[in-house]
């Protein structure tokens, strides 16, 4: 933790430049890949990357250069999300740094640990509007977990080391280091031991991560669980972040507790397990949302009652006793009052509860039977008779090939929700998506980062024609480095999710969302970027055969599938609606009647 000394390395005391010290710390932190774009203010550190690799042929730090710095940030995020390690981006000053603002904020919103190292103009030029100067500290302070501006070169190594500790500890998040060019060029003795003393942060983090659950707190939990007839787990991304998925699976089995997951919690529970009820929320499974309405005890694990899940807090799990475990005390009762809570490490907390309640047993068979009936009657479904390919149809077919074992990255939009609905995930860190920020353009660079972290894995970017345009330059990054990411583009010639809202809320006024006027040929673009597999399919083609060829191709592959622009994401819980008012659409059965389109009130809230 912050405040503890690092282990003394063999490089301790050697004379190095500031840039060389930065690389030495990265190596000691176990960094094997850097994503970044060079520029004048960061050139000394880029030269240090070259020199380090020249001097360490057996321990290379790979450098992946994207099309722009936003791509670098999202690659670092994809690397971190898929591996659990800290991702690293290295960018220059001014526009290089400001281009990373979006991925930094995205990582902060989804609690993803990355370190962004920015070049800065020399200390003497700061504040003079020098060439490619930007106030990185001020800009990033509202977006990142922590920001450093290195003014004392003697503290550079300690600062970089501390940044990693802050990024990965407690509730993880992005840390930005702004390094003036003259600090990079400065020379001095390398200190391999020091870290910055951030006592307040250290005390809070140590307190939360090491906290043990009091016996009375455990007793109170099992008293509530004993009284519950219809208990349900509400599993969020915090379970993934805490590496608590294995403990959660044991917890579920030991007490026969069914679970719903958030978008960020997908993969924390094997989706093929009978106790898994899939995703809940605005576009969650109908049966998952009905289960929330029916439950009488809801235990939130690393979940924050997001507005996409608990849109009307007092109506969310209205009949349930609410319990919550989270590493961040600020999340306890923030949105919805709780009856029982614990602030601490999730894995530790679950293991402590299991040890304490090892003899606790109750028959949950009738509740589980009820949920299985809901799951069967209100399953995901779509128009299976259409003459136009349905996006759900494509993903269902691809899922039959991947069998829950692929790492799936997505852009943001309808395709994102369809991927969450129609893929199986058997292990944690296998579904990567921009949750809280909902950043279009996330999917492709995040997939590249995930592939760098897992070179032998099957990594598929499920993208949309609107979302992929945001960072389409990263297609060339795939072929430049022969990164075997598979890009599945579901092309409905429009910003599908916005079109869906315009259809339901704005009387079919498709302002700014119709892409049929665009003439981009995505297959030719892929071929121009060097893809050896670049194909397009539509209804009538042998979809299954093409998908298998796509997945099995050695190297980067691109497949565009032309899909129905009128295929909407259902279920849908609109703003101002409770789960009982959920629209199930024309092909999913609602609880009280048949499939329903429902009605919406006009709202300016997306």
Tell me the mean pLDDT in the region 480-497. 95
Tell me the mean pLDDT in the region 474-490. 98
Tell me the mean pLDDT in the region 438-462. 98
| Residue among 297, 292, 295 at smallest CA distance from 220 | 297
Give me the pLDDT at residue 601, please.
40
The radius of gyration of the chain's CA atoms, rounded to the nearest angstrom, is: 25
Task: Determine contact, residues 452/482, Cβ cutoff 8 Å.
Answer: no
Give me the pLDDT at residue 6, please.
57
State yes or no: pLDDT of 604 exceeds 70: no
- For domain 212-377, give its CATH number from 3.20.20.70, 3.40.50.360, 3.30.70.100, 3.40.50.1220: 3.40.50.1220
Give me the pLDDT at residue 599, please.
43
Specify burial of residue 600 (Cβ count, 10 A radius: 0-12, 13-18, 19+): middle
Task: Determine contact, residues 227/361, Cβ cutoff 8 Å.
Answer: no
Q: How confident is the model at residue 596 (pLDDT cuts 50, 70, 90)?
A: low
Tell me the mean pLDDT in the region 18-29. 98
Cβ neighbours of residue 349 closer than 8 Å, sequence gap 6 or more = 213, 325, 342
Tell me the mean pLDDT in the region 110-119. 98
Q: Which of 21, 140, 417, 497 is catalytic?
A: 497
How far apart are the C-alpha atoms of 136 and 138, rounded to whole Å?
Answer: 5
How far apart are the C-alpha atoms of 308 and 409, rounded to whole Å?
Answer: 20
| Residue among 186, 105, 50, 141 at smallest CA distance from 434 | 105
Using the CB atoms, write b or e for 348-370: b if 16+ within 10 Å.
bbbbbbeebbeeeeeebeebbee
Q: What's the gap between Cα 366 and its chain centre? A: 35
State yes or no: pLDDT of 152 exceeds 60: yes
Give me the pLDDT at residue 236, please.
97
Give me the pLDDT at residue 594, please.
59
Instruction: Lowest mean pLDDT of 262-266, 279-283, 476-480, 519-523, name the range.
Output: 519-523
What is the CB neighbour count within 10 angstroms for residue 511?
8
Element (H, E) at 385: none
Give me the pLDDT at residue 3, please.
44
| Residue among 461, 448, 525 at smallest CA distance from 71 | 448
Q: What are phi and psi of 313, to 5 degrees?
A: -50, -40
Q: Kindly report, residue by residue over 304-342, the tens digit of the pLDDT.
A: 999 999 989 999 999 999 999 999 999 999 999 999 999
State yes or no: pLDDT of 1 exceeds 90: no
Task: Determine contact, residues 455/429, Cβ cutoff 8 Å.
Answer: no
Give me the pLDDT at residue 593, please.
66
Task: Determine contact, residues 104/84, Cβ cutoff 8 Å.
Answer: no
Give me the pLDDT at residue 74, please.
98
Q: Kindly report, residue by residue over 33-79, the tens digit of the pLDDT.
A: 999 999 999 999 999 999 999 999 999 999 999 999 999 999 999 99
| End-to-end Cα spacing for the chain | 39
The two tokens of residue 69 are 């710095």
Helix 18-28 vs helix 43-55: crossing angle, to nearest 10? 50
User: What is the DSSP annotation of 115-136?
Assistant: EEEEEE--GGGTTTT-TT---H
Q: What percent of the chain has pLDDT over 70?
A: 96
Give me the pLDDT at residue 543, please.
94
Is 70 marked active-site? no
State yes or no: pLDDT of 600 exceeds 90: no
- Give the torsion sign (CA, 61, 62, 67, 71): negative
Give me the pLDDT at residue 200, please.
80
Q: Which of 14, 132, 155, 254 is catalytic?
A: 132
The two tokens of residue 61 are 């730090």
The two tokens of residue 10 are 């063999």
Helix 414-422 vs helix 496-505: crossing angle, to nearest 10? 100
Helix (H, G, I), strand (E, B) or coil at 279: strand
Residue reference for tokens 């039959």: 400
Peptide bond into 571 cis (omega under 30): yes
List the alpha helices (DSSP H) in 295-426. Answer: 346-356, 365-377, 391-402, 414-422
State yes or no: pLDDT of 603 exceeds 60: no
Q: CA separation (Å) from 189 to 10, 156, 206, 309, 473?
A: 13, 11, 31, 52, 41
| Residue among 490, 492, 543 at smallest CA distance from 514 | 492
| Residue among 172, 116, 170, 168 at smallest CA distance from 140 | 116
Q: How many Cα atoms are found within 13 Å in the side-chain-facing hemisphere of 165?
A: 23
The two tokens of residue 181 are 């060019």
Instruction: Lowest mean pLDDT of 20-24, 62-66, 209-213, 382-386, name the range.
Output: 209-213
> Which CATH homologous superfamily contains domain 15-208?
Thiamin diphosphate (ThDP)-binding fold, Pyr/PP domains (3.40.50.970)
Is 305 marked active-site? no
Tell me the mean pLDDT in the region 273-281. 96
State yes or no: pLDDT of 396 exceeds 70: yes
Helix (H, G, I), strand (E, B) or coil at 294: helix
Is 497 marked active-site? yes
How far apart are the C-alpha atoms of 1 and 516, rounded to whole Å?
Answer: 53
Q: Which of 131, 197, 506, 510 is catalytic?
A: 131
Domain with CATH 3.40.50.970 in the chain: 15-208, 391-562
Full strand arrangement of the beta sheet holding 533-537: 431-432, 407-410, 459-464, 486-491, 557-562, 533-537
Tell me the mean pLDDT in the region 8-12. 80
How far apart are the C-alpha atoms of 155 and 195, rounded to whole Å?
Answer: 8
Q: Kindly report, residue by residue over 195-247, the tens digit of the pLDDT.
A: 998 888 877 887 777 899 999 999 999 999 999 999 999 999 999 999 999 99
State yes or no: pLDDT of 606 exceeds 50: no
Q: Which of 181, 230, 486, 565 is catalytic?
A: 181
Domain with CATH 3.40.50.1220 in the chain: 212-377
How far apart are the C-alpha atoms of 184 and 218, rounded to whole Å?
Answer: 52
Mean pLDDT (the chain) is 94
In total, the chain counts a number of residues equal to 606
Is 132 marked active-site? yes
Q: Which of 20, 21, 35, 69 is catalytic?
A: 69
Max Cα-Cα span within the chain: 76
State yes or no: pLDDT of 292 exceeds 80: yes
**CATH no. of 391-562:** 3.40.50.970
Q: What are phi and psi of 237, to 5 degrees?
A: -65, -20
Element (H, E) at 176: strand 175-180
Give me the pLDDT at residue 576, please.
83
Tell me the mean pLDDT in the region 268-285. 96
């Amino acid at each position: 933790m912050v405040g503890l000394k690092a282990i003394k390395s063999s490089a301790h005391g050697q004379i190095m430049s500031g840039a060389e010290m930065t690389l030495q710390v990265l190596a000691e932190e176990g960094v094997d890949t850097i994503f970044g774009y060079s520029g004048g203010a960061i050139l000394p550190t880029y030269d240090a990357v070259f020199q380090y690799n020249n001097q360490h042929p057996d321990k290379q730090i790979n450098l992946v250069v994207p099309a722009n710095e936003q791509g670098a940030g999202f690659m670092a995020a994809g690397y971190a999300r898929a591996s659990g390690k800290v991702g690293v981006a290295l960018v220059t000053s001014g526009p290089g740094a400001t281009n990373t603002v979006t991925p930094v904020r995205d990582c902060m919103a989804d609690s993803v640990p990355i370190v962004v190292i920015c070049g800065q103009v020399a200390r003497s030029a700061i504040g003079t509007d020098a060439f490619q100067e930007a106030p990185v500290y001020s800009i990033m302070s509202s977006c990142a977990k922590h920001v450093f501006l290195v003014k004392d070169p003697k503290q550079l190594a300690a600062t970089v080391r501390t940044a990693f500790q802050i990024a990965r500890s407690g509730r993880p998040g992005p840390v930005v280091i702004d390094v003036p060019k003259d600090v990079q060029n400065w020379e001095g003795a390398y200190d391999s031991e020091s870290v910055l003393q951030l006592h307040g942060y250290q005390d809070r983090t140590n307190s939360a991560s090491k906290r043990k659950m009091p016996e009375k707190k455990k007793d109170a939990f099992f008293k509530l669980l004993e009284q519950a007839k219809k208990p349900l787990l509400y599993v969020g991304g915090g379970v993934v972040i805490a590496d608590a998925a294995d403990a959660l699976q044991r917890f579920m089995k030991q007490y026969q507790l069914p679970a719903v997951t958030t978008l960020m919690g997908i993969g924390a529970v094997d989706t093929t397990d009978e106790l898994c009820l899939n995703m809940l929320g605005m576009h969650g499974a109908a049966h998952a949302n009905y289960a929330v309405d029916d439950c009488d005890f809801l235990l939130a694990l690393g979940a924050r009652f997001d507005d996409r899940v608990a849109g009307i807090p007092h109506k969310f799990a209205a009949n349930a006793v609410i319990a919550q475990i989270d590493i961040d005390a600020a999340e306890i009762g923030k949105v919805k009052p709780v009856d029982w809570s614990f602030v601490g490490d999730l894995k530790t907390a679950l293991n402590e509860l299991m040890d304490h309640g090892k003899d606790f047993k109750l028959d949950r068979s009738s509740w589980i039977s009820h949920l299985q009936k809901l799951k069967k009657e209100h399953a995901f479904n779509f128009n299976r008779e259409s003459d136009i390919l349905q996006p759900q149809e494509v993903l269902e077919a691809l899922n039959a090939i991947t069998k829950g074992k692929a790492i799936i990255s997505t852009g943001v939009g309808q395709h994102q929700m369809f991927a969450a609905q129609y893929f199986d995930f058997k292990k944690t860190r296998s579904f990567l998506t921009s949750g809280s920020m909902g950043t279009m353009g996330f999917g492709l660079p995040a997939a590249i980062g995930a592939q760098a972290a897992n070179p032998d894995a099957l990594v598929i970017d499920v993208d949309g024609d609107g979302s992929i345009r945001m960072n389409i330059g990263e297609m060339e990054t795939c072929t430049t480095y022969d990164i075997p990411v598979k890009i599945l583009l579901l092309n409905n010639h429009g910003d599908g999710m916005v079109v869906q809202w315009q259809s339901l809320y704005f009387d079919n006024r498709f302002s700014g969302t119709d892409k049929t006027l665009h003439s981009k040929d995505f297959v030719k673009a892929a071929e121009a970027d060097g893809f050896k597999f670049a194909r397009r399919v539509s209804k009538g083609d042998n979809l299954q055969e093409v998908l298998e060829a796509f997945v099995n191709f050695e190297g980067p592959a691109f497949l565009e599938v032309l899909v129905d622009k009128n295929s909407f994401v259902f279920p849908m819980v609109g703003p101002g609606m409770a789960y009982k008012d959920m629209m199930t659409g024309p092909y999913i059965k609602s609880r009280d009647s048949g499939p329903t389109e429902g009605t919406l009130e006009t709202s300016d809230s997306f």
